[in-house]
């Protein structure tokens, strides 16, 4: 089986998408890949300062992913893989989907106030060109509803 790709950004919506993906992967014998995208920093005149800022952002992203991975190990018995990429989120996710032929589905969650930029992009005009299914998990989906959905 392939991997369920979840884009993690530290929000509750991302954690809900991760829990859904982990349950699906556990049921199907698949895996979970967690992706954090470190967006480029505003241009700083001194290169060393900019590099330090980007390194700090990368370390924060890794720490967030490792914390989320630990919770999934406890809940679903899966050890997700951790991917940190640098770039613009939509472009980075699209490139990763093209590079990897083993992704079963892209799993995203909506925010309570509506879809974010990734959901809007990948469920819009880009949906027809995706190399895998797109699963959109409602932000209000909680434990009991999540269990029924998987």
- pLDDT (tens digit, 9 = 90+) per residue, 92-147? 999 999 999 999 999 999 988 888 899 999 999 899 999 999 999 998 776 666 66
Helices (H) and strands (E) in the chain, counts: 5, 5
Other C-beta atoms closer than 10 Å to the C-beta of 2 total 16
Nearest one of 79, 75, 55 to 65, comparing CA atoms: 79
The CATH code of the domain that includes 57 is: 3.40.50.620
Q: How many domains does the chain have?
A: 1
Domain range for residue 127?
Answer: 3-149
> Does residue 47 have a pLDDT over 80?
no
Q: What is the pTM of this model?
A: 0.84
Nearest one of 29, 27, 2, 1 to 106, comparing CA atoms: 2
Alpha helix stretches (DSSP H) within the chain: 12-28, 47-76, 89-99, 117-123, 143-149
Nearest one of 76, 82, 106, 104 to 94, comparing CA atoms: 106
Q: How far apart are CA 132 and CA 51, in angstroms?
A: 35
pLDDT in tens, 59-96: 788 887 778 888 787 777 888 999 999 999 999 999 99
């Amino acid at each position: 089986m392939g991997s369920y790709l979840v884009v993690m950004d530290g929000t509750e919506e991302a954690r809900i998408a991760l829990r859904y993906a982990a349950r699906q992967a556990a049921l199907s014998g698949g895996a979970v890949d967690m992706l954090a995208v470190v967006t480029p920093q505003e241009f700083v005149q001194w290169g060393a300062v900019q590099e330090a800022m980007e390194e700090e952002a990368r370390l924060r992203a890794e720490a967030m992913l490792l914390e989320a991975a630990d919770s999934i190990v406890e809940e679903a018995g899966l050890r997700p893989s951790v991917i940190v990429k640098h770039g613009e989120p939509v472009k980075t996710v699209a490139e990763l989907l093209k590079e990897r032929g083993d992704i079963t589905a892209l799993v995203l969650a909506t925010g309570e106030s509506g879809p974010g930029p990734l959901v809007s992009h990948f469920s819009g005009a880009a949906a027809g060109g995706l190399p895998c299914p797109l699963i959109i998990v409602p932000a209000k989906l909680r434990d009991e509803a999540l269990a029924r959905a998987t």
